[in-house]
Structure 1
Amino acid sequence: MVKSPDVSVIVPVFNAGASLEASVQSLLDQTLKNIEIIVVNDASTDSSAETISRLESENGNIVAIHLTENQGVHEARLTGLKKASAPWIGFLDADDFARPNMFEAMHRAAEQQAVDIVVCGSYRVTKERKPIAPKIRFKSSKKIESEVFEKFSRFEFGTGSLWNKLYHREVMAPHADMHFPWRQSLNEDLLLNIGCFYKAESVYVTHEVLHEYVLNESSVTSTTTNAKAYVYMYRAYALAVSSFSELGGDVLVRIINMYRAQLSWSSYIIGDVSDIVVYEEELNEATELIYRSYPLALALLPPRQHPARVGAKVALKALARKGVSLLGLDAIVFKPRE
């Protein structure tokens, strides 16, 4: 066990036996040696548990946590967060890589710049770490000390991912109990980041590309249909509205605009209303949560850009014929043609 580590890195794992060891090795090879690696096994059914236990026995700075029931990546990260002992918190997915100087460079920037969050670039790579193309890149390094949340909500710091950021524990730890009423499989990173960037007073963006994102064609993100992606995003929107409704209207409007922007992206555009009807229960559950938390959010969500291929009137008639009673769906799923 590392005594008073500088950085704790949390690695959630579920059936990642094929990639896990190489990813953890990229953390063991860090130039920052005073690092705590917390590997959370989310009740894997493959060889992940054995690999984690072996790595822990061979390396004093690895802390293994084995969950007895599969809870999902968000809950696995929260479990790791509660165990983390360092003043700085980072994350790595079990199929990605940290470049050798990733956490030394980010930790140095965090300390020298006296900021709450550091953000770096990321490069898409193959499983063999062969470069494909930039995923996130910043033209220059800079410190931001004003309008942090406003800039975050405009995606000026890139995506809402956790794996290319280093957080002071004071902005991350308050969200260790951010539990959701359902398992959120996509966009869960952004929900944590909303809380962190709202609390952060300063951010340092570095032009260095320090993270490697493995392009995995079989991942949840890659294999999800547009309809299912929409449902995941809408449910994330409901969680965001519910979780942060107490922050007031100005903050909620920025959060709403973030989800409006995302729902205008091509991967969430629905071509046929029948594709989404099968998710009536999930959509109703999310809609009811929004209604209880901030009803106006139902009317404000329709995206401004790229109208859906199915017009609102056609969509609603089709839903009516199918006897669907999705609360507020006329205001949410389809944007009228202009």
Structure 2
Amino acid sequence: MRIDFRRRTTPRLSVVVPIHNVAAWLPECLDSILRQPVGDLEIVLVDDASTDGSTAIAERYAAAYGHIRLIELPERSGVSTARNVGVAHCTAPYLTFVDSDDALPADAWSRMLRTLRRTGSDFVVGKAARVSDTEWFVPPLMQRNHEVERLRCTIEEAPLMLADVFVWNKIFRRDFWDRAGIVFPERTRYQDQPALTQAFLAAERFDVLTDVVYEWRMRHDLTSATQRRAELSNLEERRQTKLMTLEMVRRHGSQRLLDVLVREILPIDMWEHYRAAVAGPSHTWDDAYWTLLRAMQTAIWNDATVPFEQTTIVPRQRAMGAVVEADRRHQLRAIIDEIDAGVRRGDVARSGAPVRRPVLQGAS
């Protein structure tokens, strides 16, 4: 492991940036961090054995700026390891994360830090927007969770915040992070959900702001985990993550949190897996994927928790779940074909929900 560290004054905020083959986006990401009007930053870059020129870019930035530290992992280890290694080398009292293909708005962190100093909460959460070359919008559930400011909030008071399973729209007190023993689980592409569930359950208080503090890039090269739903390994990792989260909330002992998790949060992305299960012609459907999908659904939604038809997702998605449970793949394909026809008419979103207009840039 190669580490480039230079001594400097004690920083106020540590920023961990995991890097792997993001040469096309890394300069914009790092420039957006460097433009933040927050003094005493410590930026820890962790290069996870990049092969596309990202390492050279990171080296140039580390050479040019004394408050950037570069760690080079000798072999591909995954984003969880990269983040965990980065955290271990952070020295500031506050901690945050930025993914190296994303970017920050002009002043993402000033108000977050002021809020934490005022409230004494364990961490603060801001709003995130999805961005591409042609779009800028706040996802509906993100918008719902950030409609009003909530200071010194508890997870019992705002249980739907368990759906905010992203690490990069938050600033944590480092002593809280260490005290809670938060570690990103390795060998999974969905490492944020268990770590953030742990944070919400461990926090005595947290703050929720209405500001957009992060811009989450929609990539079209199919390299991100959320864009590879059709892979069997992806589904297996999603199953493990959902079951891990379910067990954590169950052990926490709050029936209210458990109910919100099973009814409103865990089913949110199931429609994407339903689509993936019947994505090709019927003679190419993956039997192993279908079997694992049905096993995941019945393990989470059953008489001991909540039947899938009693979740709060839109009716068409509940209908998809019902035919998956009944082992009717062709019927699932028919539902999806009907939804797609509605998409072409412009009255139904691809997920099966009514069409929602994107939030205009700069709107809260």
Secondary structure of 2:327's match?
helix
Q: How does 1:165-204 map to 2 (within 5 A)?
A: 165-174=170-179, 178=183, 180=185, 183-186=187-190, 188-204=191-207
C-alpha distance after superposition, 1:167-189 (max 9, x if no partner): 11123225667364x61113x11
Distance (Å, rounded) in 2 between the aligned partners of 1:133 and 1:179: 28
Amino acid aligned to 2:148: S
User: Paired residue for 2:323?
Assistant: 310
Contact 1:123–1:131, Cα closer than 8 Å, also in 2: no
Contact 1:97–1:213, Cα closer than 8 Å, also in 2: yes
C-alpha distance after superposition, 1:293-331 (max 9, x if no partner): xx9999647634314263434369xxxxxxxxxxxxxxx
Amino acid aligned to 1:161: F
C-alpha distance after superposition, 1:97-145 (max 9, x if no partner): 1123212221111111211111111222235xx7622243422322133
Q: Which runs of 5+ in 2 are unaligned?
A: 1-6, 312-317, 330-364
Q: Quickly say closer, same or farther: Cα 1:32–1:26, change in 2 above 3 A.
A: same
Secondary structure of 1:4's match?
coil
Q: 1:220 aligns with which of 196, 218, 224?
A: 224
User: Paired residue for 2:315?
Assistant: none
Size of the aligned set, in residue pairs, is 302
Q: 1:17 aligns with which of 17, 23, 43?
A: 23
Contact 2:184–2:195, Cα closer than 8 Å, also in 1: no
Secondary structure of 2:171's match?
strand
Q: Quickly say closer, same or farther: Cα 1:215–1:280, change in 2 above 3 A.
A: same
User: Paired residue for 1:64?
Assistant: 70
Distance (Å, rounded) in 2 between the aligned partners of 1:166 and 1:94: 17
Asked whether 1:205 is paired with 2:208, we answer yes
Asked whether 1:160 is paired with 2:173, we answer no
Distance (Å, rounded) in 1 between the aligned partners of 2:181 and 2:66: 25
Distance (Å, rounded) in 1 between the aligned partners of 2:265 and 2:126: 25
Q: Which runs of 5+ in 1 are unaligned?
A: 317-338
User: Paired residue for 2:41?
Assistant: 35
Distance (Å, rounded) in 1 between the aligned partners of 2:256 and 2:44: 33
User: Paired residue for 2:271?
Assistant: 266
Taking only aligned residues, the RMSD between alpha carbons, in angstroms, comes to 3.5
Distance (Å, rounded) in 2 between the aligned partners of 1:246 and 1:302: 20
The share of aligned pairs that are identical, in percent, is 21
Secondary structure of 1:314's match?
coil
Distance (Å, rounded) in 2 between the aligned partners of 1:60 and 1:251: 48
Asked whether 1:45 is paired with 2:58, we answer no
1:261 Cα shift? 3.0
User: What TM-score, normalized to structure 2?
Assistant: 0.70
